[in-house]
Structure 1
Amino acid sequence: MSDFLAGGTIVQVSTSAPSTFDAAGYGAVGGLSTIGEIDEIQGDIGRLYNLLTRYPLAGAGRPRKRKGNYNDGNISLPIAVDYSDAGQNAIRTAVASMTEVTLKIILPTSTIIYCQGLVLGAPVNLGGTESFVMTNVSIEIVTSSTGVGIVVV
């Protein structure tokens, strides 16, 4: 399959960390709850390096480029608020914690993306008379101490 739509994607969250940052470790994580009522997954998942550029005086304007530090991405989840949803409640709890959560993103192709993330916020937007009460969850993907960010299975 060369392309597919995001419809049908499921996002699950757990406050448990994997024992190892690979498919086996993530696959053994318990306590996963599906986050309900997600409208879309915004942001970029995956490693992106900073570009370092310098212009040596003797280089006739030819830049020297190197990779710098990297970030494994961030996601934003616009969600219709449901205070009885276990996944949403886990996210709200994680906002007050400095500990990473485990995310399991199941694509319609059955491909699974695992990662750890810090939940930075989940502010509620009440809107107007014809608005759904929404929250916009902000998650920064973190890299393990062994340098693993995203695991795709």
Structure 2
Amino acid sequence: MINRSNKDYWLVGIQFLLFLIFLIPSKFHFFVADYLRFPSLLLSIIGFLIVLVALFNLDKSLTAFPTPKNNSELITSGLYKYVRHPIYNGILLTVFGYSIYSASILRLIISLLLLILFYFKTHYEEYKLSQKYPDYFAYKARTGRFIPKL
């Protein structure tokens, strides 16, 4: 039985709520030059593809909750070889890219809130992962959280 805390449910609940708000059409827009529209849409598509690949990499270890599943294993291959949280990276590229493409102030604010949420969620998630996997500390030392280590 997975031992999830209230914090797990709050973090996922806030994330889901932000995703729902992101879908709301906004009446408040900012100026975006035409030459930025295609690159921002491309950024969004690349982010979505990163999410799909990372979901595939996780396989049976996939969960939306920060606490790992009982039958999960530490994944350090695929995109996880380069960054510890490629799903969050992909989501952020998708939402920021689409926020710029749609020139939506609301979506840009939601994207910033997701960035902040993922920062805190990853701290908690990494604490939980280090409790379950003794090798997590070595993995963490050699792999960037959001940006690959050079």
Q: TM-score, normalised by structure 2?
A: 0.24
Give the strand-richer structure, 1 or 2.
1
Task: Report which structure shows greater RCO (CA 8 Å, sep ≥6).
Answer: 2
Q: TM-score, normalised by structure 1?
A: 0.24
